[in-house]
Structure formats: C-alpha cells, structure tokens
Amino acid sequence: MGHVASMPLSVSHPLTIARLKPDIVHVHSPYPLGEVSAWVFKARVPLVITHHSDVVRQQGWLRLYAPLLRRVLNHADRIIATSPRYIDTSPWLRPVKDKCTVVPLGVDHRRFAPPPAPFAGPPTALFVGRLRYYKGLDALLHALAKAPEASLDVVGTGPMHDEWEALTRSLEMTERVRFLGEIPDEDLPTRYHAAHFFVLPANARAEAFGTVLLEAMASGLPCVSTEVGSGTSWVV
C-alpha cells in the first residue's frame, strides 16, 4: 500500500503535492486550493474528485471559481458523488455524469441500535447538526408552534444559535425546545434514543446528503425531511 497524505488548507498546497510526488490525487470539493493543485498536476497523476456539495450561497465568489471548477471536473478521471439524486440535480455534475460514481456516506449502525423499549413520554422531535442558515431550523420552530403537544431537542451549535433561540422565545416555546449545544460523540446515540422522530428541515442544496438521517434511522427513528433536490430525499 502506498503513502497517504492529508492536506490542510494552505496556499503552499501545490508545492507540497509536487514534493510528495503522489501516484493519485483525491480532492474533496468544493476546495479551490485543492482544485488549483489538481489542475496543475493533472497531466502527471490521475485525479479523483469527491464532490460533496455545489456552491450554493456564495454567488459572487462563484463567478471567479466557476471556470476553474468546470475545467477540473472535465479533466478528472473519476468523480465521486454521495447520491444519484445529487448527480441528477447538480448543474456541475450533470455534464460529466458519465464519469461519476456514487459512493454513499455511511455510519456504524451498531453504535445507534435502538434499545429494547421505545422512549416514553410526550412526542419529542430531535434535530442534530450545525446551526447554519441552510439547516432550516426556523421552519421547524414555526411548525412546532402549531403542535403544542410536541417538544424538540436541538443538538449542535453554530452561527444561527442566538437568532433561533430568540425565535424560540418569541414563539413562547422555551419550555418545549431545549438547545443542548455540543455533546460528546459517545453520548450522541443516547440523544437519538430519547426522541420519537427526527427532523432535518433543510432549505437549500447546501445540505447535500444528511448523515444525521442515517444515524436517526439506525436508531429506529422515523425521519421527516424537506425536498431541496439533494441527497436527503434519496436517503430517506
């Protein structure tokens, strides 16, 4: 087996690749520095790209980035996508569909195996993830306001935390919505086992797959998701 090296975000990336003299370059995209390096060295070594997500929100930056990304995708030897749904709906992957291979993400289902007895108590929904705009937690909070018998546990932190916590207060749901913050990875199965169903209310294609849906299903939870044209619908 050959040497495997992982590269941090650095402007020295192309020089480091040249020094390593790899037999293959595998870029996780979007990652402009990695793609620049791949473009420079494509003539020397095979190139594999894992396309995790389209660039959705940064449209100004995309104007500069788009020509490079198209060129790199066209020159790649193989492109990995995490779902066939994303290939079909991505304006970047559709033109190079013939060189795409689906390799879904996965989880160790044994970690999340549900307990013998289901969770008791009032209906409890669970959300797990970074609190970013595209997660759509605000839509879930507004929906929960119309279901006064249900509660919600929110696991994770992020830039939208304060805004969504304020929304919870304005909807007068502080007694039904618990912001639990980050929890240790080893405690995550316990949170899934303390819920009745899981909700991923994403509102943009930046939610490209939804590994948390796999964790929820491995925990025996029914899942509610939104249709954003990405892999989340395929997973569910």
pLDDT tens for the chain, residues 1 to 236: 445 555 455 666 666 766 777 888 888 988 877 787 777 766 678 889 999 998 877 666 677 788 888 888 998 999 999 999 999 999 999 999 999 999 999 999 999 999 888 888 899 999 999 999 999 999 999 999 999 999 999 999 999 999 999 999 999 999 999 999 999 999 999 999 999 999 999 999 999 999 999 999 999 999 999 999 999 999 99
Strands 25-29 and 47-51: parallel
φ and ψ of 76, to 5 deg: -65, 145
CB 198 within 8 A of CB 221: yes
The reply to whether domains 13-102 and 109-235 share a CATH topology is: yes
Q: Can you give the pTM of this predicted structure? A: 0.87
Who's near 19: CB < 8 A, 6+ residues apart?
A: none
**Can you read off the two tokens belonging to residue 225?**
């998701």
φ and ψ of 45, to 5 deg: -135, 155
Q: Which CATH number fits domain 109-235: 1.10.3720.10, 3.30.70.920, 3.40.50.2000, 3.30.70.260?
A: 3.40.50.2000
φ and ψ of 33, to 5 deg: -65, -40
CATH topology of domain 13-102: Rossmann fold (3.40.50)
Who's near 12: CB < 8 A, 6+ residues apart?
A: none
How is 1-27 classified by DSSP, letter by letter?
--------S-TTHHHHHHHH--S-EEE
Query: What gap in Å lies between CA 191 and CA 221, rounded to an integer?
Result: 11
In the chain, where the domains are located: 13-102, 109-235
